[in-house]
Amino acid sequence: MAIDPTTAISPTSATATGRTRMADSYETFMSLLTAQIRNQDPLSPMDSTQFTQQLVQMTGVEQQLLTNDLLEKLVTNTGSGIQTSVSLLGREVRALNDEAKLTAGQAQWSYKLDREATDVTVEVLNEYGKVVHVSKPEDNKAGDHTFTWNGKDIEGAQAPNGGTYTLRVTAKDSAGETVTSTGFIKGVVTGVEQTNGKTFITVNGVPIPWETVTSIAEVGDAPSNDNPDNPDTETPPPSEEAAA
């Protein structure tokens, strides 16, 4: 049997319509119930069993609508996020991100300067937002940069492995104007998981939202160009800036 696309109702639309009708019915029911209680015969009060059952039924309808919402969300995640993320396993990706995990006494970040800067300050923050390391890179030209932290805090103490740290980059030009910087992570996808309805991929031990991926490449291939408007532009190689 053919279905007229102009009259077909999507599950989302059906759920929204059902919720609207339920809300209208609930308000009507409560208005009638209030009027009945107000005008009932004191010598022969109305039986409360009937309207109690109706309240229970309406609560059941509301729960069913909530269940439908959850199912629709699950279907959406399964149909897009999970399937897309699974296809990234074993591939090298580049994604927007400013976090890195301290492993074997080192943590590494990548960031991009939109234009050349004359003064750049790089700060490493722990999970509580406290600055544990500060560095002043010398290579501040426009493009991609890599910063490696040796895990030692401001006082020279070695931080334990396994912690996740955030990189904060502050850049200014010769006129004192702010130079925009963008943090990103590059590595092989080693895992996929869902948390609170959101899909995450694991890159370099850090879970990141799959939709933040900006480029994908087979392991060993050159990374794809992040600027689709200028396909002839090659991404400059990252510079190595090791923390002292």
Q: What is the pLDDT of residues 39-82, one digit of tens each?
A: 776 766 666 676 677 666 666 666 766 776 666 655 555 445 66
237 and 112 Cβ atoms separated by less than 8 Å = no
2, part of any domain: no
Residues 213 and 162 grouped into a single domain: yes
Q: pLDDT tens digit string along 219-242?
A: 875 544 444 344 333 344 444 444
Q: Please tell me whether residue 11 adopts helix, strand or coil conformation.
A: helix
**Domains held by the chain: number:** 2
CATH code: domain of residue 128: 2.60.40.4070
163 and 178 Cβ atoms separated by less than 8 Å = no
Mean pLDDT, the chain, whole residue set: 78
Residue 177 has φ and ψ, to the nearest 5°, of: -80, 150
Residues 81 and 181 grouped into a single domain: no
208 and 97 Cβ atoms separated by less than 8 Å = yes
Residue 222 has φ and ψ, to the nearest 5°, of: -70, 140
User: Of the ranges 4-13, 76-85, 91-100, which one carries the lowest mean pLDDT score?
Assistant: 4-13
User: Of the ranges 31-35, 58-62, 95-99, which one carries the lowest mean pLDDT score?
Assistant: 58-62
- Which range marks the domain in which residue 74 is found? 11-86
User: What DSSP element (H or E) covers 209?
Assistant: strand 206-209
Residues 111 and 75 grouped into a single domain: no
User: What DSSP element (H or E) covers 90?
Assistant: none
Residues 109 and 206 grouped into a single domain: yes
